Amino acid sequence: MSEKKATRVAYGEYLAKLGHTHPELVVLDADLAGATMTQYFKKEFPDRFFDCGIAEANMVDMAAGMSNVGLLPFCSTFSVFAGRAYDQIRNGVCYPKLNVKFGFTHAGITLGEDGGSHQAIEDIAIMRALPNMTVLVPCDANETERCMDAALAIKGPVYIRLARLPSTIFEMDMPFTLGKINVLREGTDAALLCCGVMVEESMKAAELLAAQGMNVAVVNAHTLKPFDEEGVQALAKKVGHIFTVEEHNVIGGLGDAAAAAMVNLDGVKLTKLGVQDMFGQSGKPAHLLKAYKLDDQSIAEAVAKGLRG
Please identify which of the residues 56, 122, 143, 200 carries the catalytic annotation: 56
Determine the Cα–Cα distance for residues 181 and 244; give it in Å rounded to an integer: 13
Determine the Cα–Cα distance for residues 157 and 221; give it in Å rounded to an integer: 19
The predicted pLDDT at position 76 comes to 98
* Tally: H helices and E strands in the chain: 12, 14
Whether 4-168 and 182-308 share one fold: the answer is yes
Element (H, E) at 187: none
Topology of domain 4-168 in CATH is Rossmann fold (3.40.50)
Residue count of the chain: 309
Looking at 46-195, list the stretches that DSSP marks H as alpha helix, in order from N- to C-terminal side: 56-67, 86-87, 123-128, 141-153
- CATH for 182-308, options being 3.40.50.920, 3.30.1490.100, 3.30.470.20, 1.10.3720.10: 3.40.50.920
Q: What are the boundaries of each domain within the chain?
A: 4-168, 182-308
Other beta carbons within 10 angstroms of residue 20's beta carbon come to 10
**Is the preceding peptide bond at 226 cis, omega within 30 degrees of 0?**
yes
Q: What's this model's pTM, rounded to 2 decimal places?
A: 0.97
Determine the Cα–Cα distance for residues 115 and 288; give it in Å rounded to an integer: 10
The one-digit pLDDT tens for each residue of the chain (309 residues) are 479 999 999 999 999 999 999 999 999 999 999 999 999 999 999 999 999 999 999 999 999 999 999 999 999 999 999 999 999 999 999 999 999 999 999 999 999 999 999 999 999 999 999 999 999 999 999 999 999 999 999 999 999 999 999 999 998 888 899 999 999 999 999 999 999 999 999 999 999 999 999 999 999 999 999 999 999 999 999 999 999 999 999 999 999 999 999 999 999 999 999 999 999 999 999 999 999 999 999 999 999 999 987
Of 163, 160, 178, the C-alpha closest to 75 is 160
For 6, residues 6+ apart whose C-beta sits below 8 A from its C-beta are 141, 162, 163, 164, 165, 166, 167
Of 206, 190, 203, the C-alpha closest to 241 is 190
Q: Is 56 assigned a catalytic role?
A: yes
